[in-house]
Structure 1
Amino acid sequence: MITAAARHEFALHGAAQPALPLVLNAGALVRPMRKVPMLGWLVADPELAREIHGDGDHFSLVGEGASGHWWAQMLGDFVYHRFEGPGHTEFRAALADMFTPARSRALVDRAVGPMLEALTADLHAGRSVDIGPFAREYTGRIMADIAGIPISADDGTAQCLALFDTVERMADQAKGIWATTTVGARVEARGRDAGRRLSAAVPEVYATAAPDTVIGRCREFGMGIEETRGITTLMLVAGTATLASTLGRMVALLHDTGAVRELVADRSLIPAAVREALRVTSSMPIVGRGVTADVTLGGHDLHAGDKVKIMTLTINNELGGYDLHLGKVPHLRQLWFGGGRHLCLGAALTHVQLTRVLEALLAVQEPWIVSDRRYRRNVFVPMYERLTIRRERAVRTRNALIGVLAPRG
């Protein structure tokens, strides 16, 4: 029997990209791996996925079929140097201390503390809250802060929502590229235009950006303004759309599965709630790699020039739906964050961001109810356009009043 949570997740993927549910379903049919015409090698096994992530001699993030190859066309050839090899290792090491748990907590409190307080206050007062735009502003504020982009005190909400829309416009240039990551001239032009808009503030703040921001750290690392603009664009895109997707879907999953009641009763389950949201949503459901040298994987011979797609969502969901009591699954090892030398640099920040939202929601000490939802359509990253929630008791009180005041026959 298909659960309500599973139905919404399936519909959300279909609203984003109509072909996406078909490709994801294909993942369940190819375990552990199989070569599919046009798509390349589909891998739906966690051990093989980790082998690919850890093998830099045969698999590349900048090869055709991988995200780095797409990014190079959007940002410039410097990507080939920064996404692989010593250049990648050195720059990653230069940024690592910015994303520790302690710094992540301080960042979230500084950038979105007032938003979280308002979220609690609104729910406590019985008002409805739309998690859709909340998630987009929330992620926009955090990533603008860590990037070093100034946010206006007067129209910060509008600025952050506009930033998110531009992020999404850029990410959307990757829609439907199932067969190849090579893009046409018009797509490349649109992507580069979005990148220029996202990084428009970099030249102005480059010289004065604090060393604990991405822009400041790029300057200290010796990058010029243009490469700094590219890195800033990349960070903004990587840290907003996927987190906004997971945030909204986490809130919906807790409601749709009824797990919110357990969470209200036992806040020690918050880490499990976050971990399960990351597992079930796997907001980047498919991860590509290019094969750079002949290699044997899972008993199959792969050749240089082949493309590999790691079916991350398929792998993570093999264990079933959202379950607060599933516990840590050793063989997955957070595959939703990738692996090897490309393990997501912002993993700790992601946990803090999602945890802070749950803490704000749970401060009301009552379950929430989803009263209205709409999927965001025709986008690269599946997410909610609208997800209206309200304190359960407020909904019941309103319904009771409607019943009392309604005219009777």
Structure 2
Amino acid sequence: MRALARTDPGSRWESRLIRSAHPVVARVVDVAVSRRGVVRVPGVGVLVADPRSARRVLTDTDAFAKNGPGSSGALWTPVLGDRVLLNMEGDDHRGLRHTLADLFSPRVVREVCDAAARPIVAGAAARLRVGEEVDVVRLAREVSAAVIGAVVGLDPETPPSVLLEASDAIESMVTWRTRTFDDAAAQRARAALAVVQDAAESAHAAASSATVMGRLAERGAALDDARSLAAALFLTGTGTVSSALPRIVGQLADAGLLEPRAATACRLDDVVAEGLRMTTPSLATLRRVVRPTEIDGVRLRADERVVVLLWWATRRDGGFEPGRPATGDLRHLWFGAGSHFCLGAPLALAELQAMTGMLLELAGEHGLVVTSRRAARRVLVPRYAELTVRCPAANRARARAGSGAGATGARSAGRAA
């Protein structure tokens, strides 16, 4: 296993983001997993940072579960109840996933994402084309809120800040030490989630094929399923997508891929895939040991807590290299694996492709530079607090155009005189 610190600029910034978000935990984990990929840490659980072992934990549902004490499902059960994608297992889980599968096909989510994200992305592109700075963090947060709002059926006139404030409120309630919510905390979390769950309830009642929740109703899915799905998508999709885009842009800048010739040569799918491998916004996921088992020479006891360290598991030799496929156990590991593989992955990809595609297009035309960036401190999902970009060539092109127009006007005035 390799230490957290890396030598290339992109990896150093990633390490800085992780340590700014979790100053103590990041260092403890890095030391713990620096020599072997599976290690027991008293009071924390069994840490898994090796991609092969991580995939084994995520796919072996006979030995590892997402519900019960110490699991991530247990965290949300007091808030959302027992029947949520985040804490379900077995036949019920498979049945609900089957019901939802084609509602999150690449074609469907592209339609939803295009309608919700296009005006925001186009506005950012227009500002960059006239030489203004754009904060990519703000862009990503607004797009992720708009897209999730469209999925759950939120009134399009609702300001993105409403969803973002709810997301921030819930994130602030969770730390690495949080095992479950007490009654007071669960009540606060339910209050924050009300904005998306109430929207989902209204969309489900309308049963319109124009919304995802309406289509769910058309299939006979229960109202509780719609409300829990809306909450699950909101909890897992808002913070991660808004974290990923600025980090991908930072990786592109540090690799010199925002210069015109380099940006033109980039394939969008490769950039997003490698960007997600490099950033892996969901740092970790939890499982409970169902029965005694062994993994990588470490004996696990029933009901022991397993912390699958996804960000650490997706590290590999070399920095940010679009076009170098992540194969084998590493393939798509940033979205998880097995029966709980991220249902919203196509939606996240559509959002990231819409935003990254716009930025790469402008970089290919004019070049983009990162003018400032700052890591967010003590947050659950590691991210930038700010990352601004600008097209210097756009300013120069405008200046030349203005100069040319002025000269033409002067010549015309001279001829008229």
TM-score (norm 2): 0.86
Counterparts in 2 of 1:328 and 1:183: CA distance versus 1, 3 Å: same
State the one-letter code of the partner of 1:171. Answer: E
Counterparts in 2 of 1:342 and 1:80: CA distance versus 1, 3 Å: closer
State the one-letter code of the partner of 1:93. Answer: H
Provide the C-alpha distance between the structure 2 equivalents of 1:130 and 1:246, rounded to a whole number of angstroms. Answer: 14
State the one-letter code of the partner of 2:60. Answer: D
Counterparts in 2 of 1:120 and 1:147: CA distance versus 1, 3 Å: same
Larger Rg belongs to: 2
Provide the C-alpha distance between the structure 1 equivalents of 2:79 and 2:28, rounded to a whole number of angstroms. Answer: 25
Deviations 1:338-357 (A, max 9, x none): 00001111222222222221
Provide the C-alpha distance between the structure 2 equivalents of 1:226 and 1:106, rounded to a whole number of angstroms. Answer: 25
Q: Does 1:93 align with 2:98?
A: yes
Q: Does 1:9 align with 2:48?
A: no
Q: Does 1:61 align with 2:66?
A: yes
Assess if the C-alpha contact under 8 Å between 1:246 and 1:283 holds in 2. Answer: yes
Counterpart for residue 359 of structure 1: 357
Counterpart for residue 256 of structure 1: 254
Assess if the C-alpha contact under 8 Å between 1:27 and 1:44 holds in 2. Answer: no
State the one-letter code of the partner of 1:52. Answer: V
3-state SS in 2 of match to 1:96: helix
* Offset at residue 27 of structure 1 (A): 5.4
Provide the C-alpha distance between the structure 2 equivalents of 1:81 and 1:31, rounded to a whole number of angstroms. Answer: 29
3-state SS in 2 of match to 1:181: coil
Assess if the C-alpha contact under 8 Å between 1:168 and 1:380 holds in 2. Answer: no
State the one-letter code of the partner of 1:265. Answer: T
Counterpart for residue 309 of structure 2: 311
* Offset at residue 363 of structure 1 (A): 2.7
Counterpart for residue 301 of structure 1: 299
- Structure 1, gaps ≥5 residues long: 400-409
- What are the residue-to-residue correspondences of 1:172-191 with 2, within 5 Å? 172-177=172-177, 181-191=179-189
* Offset at residue 252 of structure 1 (A): 1.4
State the one-letter code of the partner of 2:239. Answer: A
Assess if the C-alpha contact under 8 Å between 1:146 and 1:212 holds in 2. Answer: no
Assess if the C-alpha contact under 8 Å between 2:152 and 2:196 holds in 1. Answer: no
3-state SS in 1 of match to 2:155: coil
Q: Which moved more, 1:141-150 or 1:376-385?
A: 376-385
Assess if the C-alpha contact under 8 Å between 2:278 and 2:320 holds in 1. Answer: yes
Counterpart for residue 374 of structure 1: 374
Counterpart for residue 167 of structure 1: 167
State the one-letter code of the partner of 2:111. Answer: A
* Offset at residue 57 of structure 1 (A): 1.0
Provide the C-alpha distance between the structure 2 equivalents of 1:204 and 1:325, rounded to a whole number of angstroms. Answer: 43
3-state SS in 2 of match to 1:183: coil
Assess if the C-alpha contact under 8 Å between 1:369 and 1:390 holds in 2. Answer: yes
* Offset at residue 82 of structure 1 (A): 6.0
TM-score (norm 1): 0.88
- Structure 2, gaps ≥5 residues long: 1-5, 400-417
Counterparts in 2 of 1:106 and 1:223: CA distance versus 1, 3 Å: closer
Counterpart for residue 71 of structure 1: 76
Assess if the C-alpha contact under 8 Å between 1:214 and 1:232 holds in 2. Answer: no
Provide the C-alpha distance between the structure 2 equivalents of 1:11 and 1:187, rounded to a whole number of angstroms. Answer: 30
State the one-letter code of the partner of 2:392. Answer: E
Assess if the C-alpha contact under 8 Å between 2:136 and 2:386 holds in 1. Answer: yes
Counterparts in 2 of 1:213 and 1:94: CA distance versus 1, 3 Å: farther
* Offset at residue 390 of structure 1 (A): 0.2
Provide the C-alpha distance between the structure 1 equivalents of 2:141 and 2:86, rounded to a whole number of angstroms. Answer: 31
3-state SS in 2 of match to 1:173: coil
Counterparts in 2 of 1:309 and 1:81: CA distance versus 1, 3 Å: closer
Deviations 1:331-384 (A, max 9, x none): 311110100001111222222222221221133213211112233333211122
Counterparts in 2 of 1:244 and 1:20: CA distance versus 1, 3 Å: farther
3-state SS in 2 of match to 1:72: helix
State the one-letter code of the partner of 2:73. Answer: G
Counterparts in 2 of 1:325 and 1:221: CA distance versus 1, 3 Å: closer
Counterparts in 2 of 1:322 and 1:23: CA distance versus 1, 3 Å: farther
Counterparts in 2 of 1:122 and 1:91: CA distance versus 1, 3 Å: same
Assess if the C-alpha contact under 8 Å between 2:247 and 2:383 holds in 1. Answer: yes
Provide the C-alpha distance between the structure 1 equivalents of 2:323 and 2:55, rounded to a whole number of angstroms. Answer: 25
Aligned-residue sequence identity (percent) comes to: 31
Counterpart for residue 127 of structure 1: 132
